[in-house]
């Protein structure tokens, strides 16, 4: 090692995939000094995840990214279509747990987007780079991590300059994916199988729009015996992916020639002679694993570092986004002095059961098939109900009323509730909104009642009638001893 020097940040995030980028953006939104390091020289160009869930889109919408994400999304029904070939015209629709535009409009100001990960990541990176208190450093690889009573010391290798650099941080977030170095350094094990199946995928371009006209589905499950697999659009243009599970005795797609791949895709599409432009062939193994813990003292795991899911159900990236958002606002609150450190313990308590559920479901060969009624509430995870309302000549969602601290939504009686809210003793910024009767009732607050929400929209406490002294059975959200 040569030229070791130390820089100081409040939070070090290792990995600039969806989890690391979301953690960085959320922390920087609170003015936290955050460094995101990524061992690659640029973000990944693999298209990977192809659906962004309703809740993930709500988080992205809160950062003004809704339209930009949707510009790179395929216009499809968020369902599966089981068919002989893409062109055959006959098939059976299967639910994948994602709401249609009409279903989403009932519960959310936005809807899922069938947009590939390599479209989302540059948008997140640009957003992070625009934040004053954030820095993103590429070609920077975490090598070792040392925990101390007052913080962590990370040794990073600058892969371009070939030298080592030390970073001292109060907290470290391991957002470094399935083979997490942070996880290894924290000594946290994984439980579950990591060799469920070997999958091969081919990314290609072909003008398939006219072939699927009127039957545009997010996933097309092809049953043709010579080309059984899944065909999925990757964005709004003519980019597609064909993927299939490798079975012993079968040729591996990674070993096939371009002509063989073209013939296979032509068979799956059902258009002999189709000439797809092959862009990339890759292999990956299915794993269904969860970290035994999500935390070791000042170190945390988020996303694939904390759980490895198969693509069935499309929850890998979405769970990563939700983990990162959850941990980041909690760390930010503690660092800003808005909550006592006990709040951070709720990260693992709240997020690991979600991760475990999604891991188990993704390991089920039928795990992709899910009814919206079951999957959507899980995705929304108990956040405040959505209703449109008018505020200062604008139509906004109830979700838009949530501040970065605590938000008290009151059904009328504003002066009294404002006075009562001072008894909370909250150090977090407190925002108070008085709702009209219809909106209040629509989200479960009767006129005269009030409810307190966290920034992620989860309810902290509900008071069915006016209460002059407010108490919250969640002391870690408040100034110690004040509740």
Residues in the site for ligand FAD, rule: CB under 6 A? 14-20, 37-40, 44, 48-51, 117, 141-142, 175-177, 181, 201, 284, 303-304, 311, 314-318, 320
Nearer Cβ to ligand FAD (110/201): 201
C-alpha dihedral sign at 147, 184, 27, 349: negative
Bridge partners of 36? Answer: 13, 136
What's the length of the chain?
483
* Alpha carbon separation from 394 to 388, 397, 400, 432 (Å, rounded): 10, 10, 11, 18
Instruction: Give the shortest CB-348-to-ligand FAD separation in angstroms.
Output: 16
Nearer Cβ to ligand FAD (41/422): 41
Instruction: Give the shortest CB-38-to-ligand FAD separation in angstroms.
Output: 5
Instruction: Give the shortest CB-155-to-ligand FAD separation in angstroms.
Output: 11
Find the farthest-apart pair of alpha carbons in the chain and give their distance in angstroms, rounded: 76
Nearer Cβ to ligand FAD (179/419): 179
CB 55 within 8 A of CB 379: yes
What span, in angstroms and rounded, lies between the C-alpha atoms of 182 and 200? 28
Nearer Cβ to ligand FAD (153/479): 153
Contacts of 115 (CB under 8 A, 6+ apart): 50, 51, 52, 69, 70, 72, 73, 74, 235
Give the number of C-alpha atoms closer than 13 A to the C-alpha of residue 136, restricted to the C-beta side.
26
- Name the one residue in this structure whose structure tokens are 């989200």: 443
What span, in angstroms and rounded, lies between the C-alpha atoms of 328 and 30? 9
State the virtual CA torsion across 198, 21, 300, 285 in degrees, nearest 10. 0
CB 115 within 8 A of CB 70: yes
Instruction: Give the shortest CB-457-to-ligand FAD separation in angstroms.
Output: 21
Token couple for 173: 């977030």
Nearer Cβ to ligand FAD (37/406): 37
By DSSP bridging, strand 6-14 and strand 163-174 are parallel
Instruction: Give the shortest CB-390-to-ligand FAD separation in angstroms.
Output: 35
Contacts of 236 (CB under 8 A, 6+ apart): 71, 72, 73, 74, 75
Nearer Cβ to ligand FAD (80/311): 311
Instruction: Give the shortest CB-65-to-ligand FAD separation in angstroms.
Output: 16
Nearer Cβ to ligand FAD (181/291): 181
Instruction: Give the shortest CB-398-to-ligand FAD separation in angstroms.
Output: 26
Instruction: Give the shortest CB-117-to-ligand FAD separation in angstroms.
Output: 6
Instruction: Give the shortest CB-312-to-ligand FAD separation in angstroms.
Output: 9
Nearer Cβ to ligand FAD (365/447): 365
Nearer Cβ to ligand FAD (34/440): 34
CB 308 within 8 A of CB 358: no
What span, in angstroms and rounded, lies between the C-alpha atoms of 54 and 38? 28
């Amino acid at each position: 090692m040569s030229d070791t020097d130390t820089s100081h940040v409040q939070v070090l995030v290792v990995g600039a995939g969806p989890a690391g980028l979301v953690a960085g953006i959320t922390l920087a939104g609170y003015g936290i000094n955050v460094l995101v390091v990524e061992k690659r020289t640029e973000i990944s160009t693999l298209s990977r995840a192809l659906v962004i869930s309703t809740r993930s889109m709500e988080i992205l919408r809160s950062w003004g990214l809704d339209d930009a994400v949707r510009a790179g999304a395929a216009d499809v029904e968020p369902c599966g279509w089981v068919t002989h070939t893409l062109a055959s015209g006959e098939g059976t629709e299967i639910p994948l747990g994602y709401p249609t535009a009409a279903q989403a409009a009932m519960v959310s100001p936005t809807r899922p987007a069938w947009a590939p990960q390599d479209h989302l990541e540059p948008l997140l990176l640009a957003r992070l780079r625009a934040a004053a208190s954030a820095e993103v450093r590429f070609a920077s690889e975490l090598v070792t991590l040392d925990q101390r009573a007052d913080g962590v010391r990370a040794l990073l290798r600058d892969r371009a300059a070939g030298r080592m650099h030390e970073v001292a941080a109060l907290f470290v977030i391991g957002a470094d994916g399935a083979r997490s170095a942070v996880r290894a350094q924290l000594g946290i094990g994984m439980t579950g199988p990591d060799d469920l199946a070997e999958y091969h995928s081919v990314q290609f371009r072909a003008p398939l729009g006219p072939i699927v006209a009127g039957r545009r589905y997010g996933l097309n499950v092809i049953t043709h015996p010579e080309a059984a697999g899944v065909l999925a659009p990757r964005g709004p243009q003519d980019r597609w992916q064909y993927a299939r599970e490798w079975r012993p005795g079968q040729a591996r797609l990674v070993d096939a020639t371009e002509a063989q791949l073209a013939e296979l895709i032509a068979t799956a599409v059902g258009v002999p002679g189709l000439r797809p432009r092959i862009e990339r062939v890759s292999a990956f193994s299915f794993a269904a694993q969860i970290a035994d813990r999500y935390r070791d003292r000042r170190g945390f795991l988020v996303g694939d570092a904390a759980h490895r899911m198969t693509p069935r159900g499309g929850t890998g990236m979405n769970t990563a986004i939700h983990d990162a958002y959850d941990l980041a606002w909690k760390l930010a609150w503690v660092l800003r002095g808005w909550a006592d450190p006990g709040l951070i313990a709720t990260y693992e308590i709240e997020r690991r059961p979600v991760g475990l559920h999604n891991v188990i479901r993704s390991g089920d060969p039928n795990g992709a098939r899910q009814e919206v009624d079951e999957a959507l509430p899980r995705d929304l995870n108990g956040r405040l109900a959505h209703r449109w309302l008018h505020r200062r000549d604008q139509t906004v969602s109830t979700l838009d009323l949530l501040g970065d601290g605590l938000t008290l939504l009151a059904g009328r009686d504003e002066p009294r509730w404002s006075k009562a809210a001072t008894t909370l003793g909250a150090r977090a910024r407190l925002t108070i909104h008085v709702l009209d009767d219809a909106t209040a009732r629509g989200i479960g607050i009767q006129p005269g009642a009030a409810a307190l929400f966290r920034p992620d929209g989860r309810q902290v406490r509900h008071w069915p009638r006016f209460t002059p002294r407010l108490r919250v059975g969640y002391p870690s959200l408040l100034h110690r001893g004040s509740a």
